[in-house]
Structures are given as structure tokens and as C-alpha cells.
Amino acid sequence: MADKESLDMFCYQCSQTVRGTGCTKRGVCGKEPTVARLQDNLLIATKGMAAYLYHARELGYTDTEIDAFLERVFYSTFTNVNFDAEDFVRLAIEGGEMNVKTMKLLKKAHIETYGEPEPTEVRTGTVKGKGIIATGHGLKALEELLKQMEGTGINVYTHSELLPAHGYPGLKKYKHLVGNLGISWRDQKKLFSKYPVAILGTSNCVVPPKDDYKDRMFTTGPAKLPGVKHISGYDYTPVIEKAKALPELDNEPGVVTLTTGFSKSVVLSLKDKIKALVENGKIRHFFLIGGCDSPNKKMEYYREFAQKLSMDTIILTLGCGKFRFNDLDLGDIDGVPRLIDLGQCNDSIVAIDIVLALSEVFDVGVNELPLTLVLSWMEQKAVAVLWSLLALGIKGIYIGPILPAWVNEDILNVLKEKYDLKLIGEPEGDIKQMLK
């Protein structure tokens, strides 16, 4: 996705390509621009839900209520079916509720299949030997790859949203899962060119490859790329054979060690200690900083934001946006880490559960907690998560670096009025405002 100003979209109501984020005038369909944008919002959010549902279904977990909701959304957004803007707002809130249900389903699937995540230090850099990089969100695909590679002597490295795999007991048990290379999805071309290894893309967030590594890249599941061999099912023999034919990597440890795997139970096991630290003034504020990364230069905001936070604050993080700052050594507060990585974007449900539990611990409403949510870049999954948070009544959320593409002035005014939604500014000023 790009900034609004440079984004061309096809208005399916008026059957024309328009500059910006949607039709700027009532077309032959008779729909107001705001209705068209709210439809876009709903479709974008349900795309995110569908991605989570796909991975849950891979592991044998389904929910007919969620399926029925998606069916209703797709029909409601069909041309000349629904012209009611208020109804689309209600559907978006219901979509947020359904996305909570979806994330719970996927989290259940992951935990019952691979065990509950536990804090784990993850090596960066390379280990001597041949290798494969797995990228995306597909834990099932990663597991099948790891199984088939036992005894081959080939090492596996995670990339981007597969970093949290290291925290699951059922995946970290494989000794050839040796570390993580690179940052978020946006560094793929540079990273994959650098290391002569086989590459497996398991989900969304793969990008068209450069010629110098196209012949050693493979996709699986929903991911497909031009000129790249696609593997249907889970037989990854071609990936393994390609890795065997490539040169060995040198032993080159990275300059940082990443930590992931903070599950709901791990964080809540510290709730009494956290309560005492808050009451004693040692923890002043919590920040939930999560969402998607993008190449937008304005995303540098999040690293500067994390660096400027005082030592009496704690960051909960998830999604690939965390790669903007998760290499920072922020220390701890009496044994409670200042940077707590909760996992993938779908693990927003873990953050939600923790926040709800803390509101019970402190016996206050969620919006009275010393907590601020700062969410980065609004692509499909992030839009679904945003509506989940709004459906739970959470207010005062900061988002950026740009507004979601479906937001116009009318929609923004509603979001500001009903939910106190804010657009990020500059880190120092925002922090002062958040800590008031």
C-alpha cells in the first residue's frame, strides 16, 4: 500500500479507476463516497480475518459463525445491495468482534498444536553450514519443513513474522532451527540476495524476487510469485535439495540477540509484581506498540519513540512493526523486561487478554489503565485488529504514519468523536501528551 496521494484504486461501484482512496463523487450506482470507503474498510478487514482463518484451518480449527459473517459481509458490499453508511459502521464493529473470535481460534490452534510460547533468546547471524530461510506467518509450513529436514545437516532460519516460532516448545525442539535473519518483510530483496540459501515463502508479505535468487526461492500455501516454483501441499523436498546444492554459510554471529515468546500466562504470572511496581511508582506507564512495517520513511518514528521513553515505562509489542526497535537493549524494571514481544500480528489477542486482565488486577476500566496503544501502518490485518480494539471500547489509540486509505474526513471525524482516535505526530510531543 502507498500513501493516499499516490494510490490508484478501482471503484467497483462506478466501474472506473480513480486517484486517491475511492470514488470522489456519487456514481451511477448512487452510492455516496463515504459508503464506498466503508465498504472498502470492511473488505480490507475481512481479508485480514481470512488470513488468520486460513492458518487456523491448516491446523484443523474452524468456526461456522465466523464463516457466516464473512459470507454476509461479502454480500453486503456487493453493488446495489446496501447503501446504509451507519449499517457499515455497525458491521465494522461486528467485524472487530468476529476478529477477536478469529484470533482466539488461531491462538488456540497454535497452543494446542505447539504448546504455549515461553521466553526464548534467538540468535541473529549465521551458523556454519547450508541453510534455508523461512518467511511469512505459516507455522504449519515451518513445522513440516523442520520435520523433513531432520538428519540433513541443513540449518533453518526464520525471517520476519516467523521469529515468534522460536518461542513455541513444539518448534524450538528442532535443533536445526538455529536463529533469525533480517528484519520485517521489507528487507527481503537485500537479505535474500546476501545469503546463498534456499528460501520458502509461507504466506502473505512475500514480494516479487530479484533474478539473482529467483531460482532458489519457493512458495507454499497461499503464497505465489511470478517465476518462482510453487509447492502444493507440504512436501518440501525441492527446497531441501536446492539447499544441499548451495554453498555453506560461514559462522558469523549477529550483533544482537532477540527475545520472543512472552505468552499470556508468562506475563500474567508477573501480575502481582507488576501491580506492586506500579503502586510503588517504579512502572509509570505501559505502551502497546504493534502493527505492520512499511518502507515509508515516516516509520522511523517508532524507533525514535521507543528510544525516547523513560526507564519507568514498559513496551508490549507484536507484529512486524516491532523490527523497527526490537534490537534495542531496554533493560528491565526489577526483573520485568521493558520490551515484551508477544508474537505475530495475530497475537494481538494475547495483548487484549493481558490488558483486560490488568484492568481486573487494578480494578479499573481499560481506558483508565496507565496504558497507551500506538499502532503502525494499517494494512489488512491491522485494520481488522483496529476494529477489534474499537469494538472492545478502547479509546485514545494513536495510529500512523499515515491514515488508512479508506478513511475520509467524515469517517475520521466519527472515529475521533466516538473513539478519540489520534494520528501520530512527532515522538517527543506525543510521549508528553500520552503521559499526562
Q: What is the 3-state secondary structure of 73-124?
A: HHHHCCCCCCCCHHHHHHHHHHHHHHHHHHHHHHHHHHHHHHCCCCCEEEEE
Non-local (6+) Cβ contacts of 312 within 8 A are 281, 282, 283, 284, 285, 333
Q: Are 352 and 365 in contact (CB under 8 A)?
A: no
β-strands 16-19, 8-11 pairing: antiparallel
Backbone angles phi, psi at 127, to 5 degrees: -110, 145
Q: Give per-residue burial for 310-330: e unless 16+ CB within 10 Å, then b.
A: eeebbbbbbbbbbbbbbbeeb
pLDDT of 12 reads 38
| One-character DSSP codes across 31-68 | --HHHHHHHHHHHHHHHHHHHHHHHHHHTT---HHHHH
- Chain length of the chain: 436
User: CA–CA separation, 349 vs 281, rounded Å?
Assistant: 28
* 134 within 8 A of 252, measured Cβ to Cβ: no
Helix, strand and coil percent figures for the chain, each rounded to 5: 45, 20, 35
pLDDT for res 31:
53
- Cα-to-chain-centroid distance, residue 18: 29
The CA distance from 126 to 150, in Å, is 19
DSSP summary character for residue 162: G
Cα(309)–Cα(292) distance, integer angstroms: 21
Q: Are 398 and 288 within 8 A, CB to CB? A: no
Interatomic CA distance for residues 102 and 267, integer angstroms: 22
C-alpha distances in Å from residue 316, one per residue of 267, 297, 343: 10, 23, 10
Helix (H) or strand (E) holding 178: strand 177-180
| Nine-digit cell string for 267 | 506475563
Q: What is the pLDDT, as a whole number, of residue 220?
A: 98
C-alpha cell at 158: 526464520
Taking only the tens of pLDDT, the chain with its 436 residues reads: 334 333 444 443 444 444 444 444 444 344 577 888 889 899 999 999 999 999 999 999 999 999 999 999 999 887 667 678 888 889 999 999 999 999 999 999 999 999 999 999 999 999 999 999 999 999 999 999 999 999 999 999 999 999 999 999 999 999 999 999 999 999 999 999 999 999 999 999 999 999 999 999 999 999 999 999 999 999 999 999 999 999 999 999 999 999 999 999 999 999 999 999 999 999 999 999 999 999 999 999 999 999 999 999 999 999 999 999 999 999 999 999 999 999 999 999 999 999 999 999 999 999 999 999 999 987 789 999 999 999 999 999 999 998 888 888 988 999 999 999 999 999 999 999 999 8
> What are residue 318's DSSP bridge partners?
290
DSSP string for 236-303: -HHHHHHHHHSPPBP-EEEEEEEEE---HHHHHTTHHHHHHHHHTTS--EEEEEEE---S-GGGGHHH
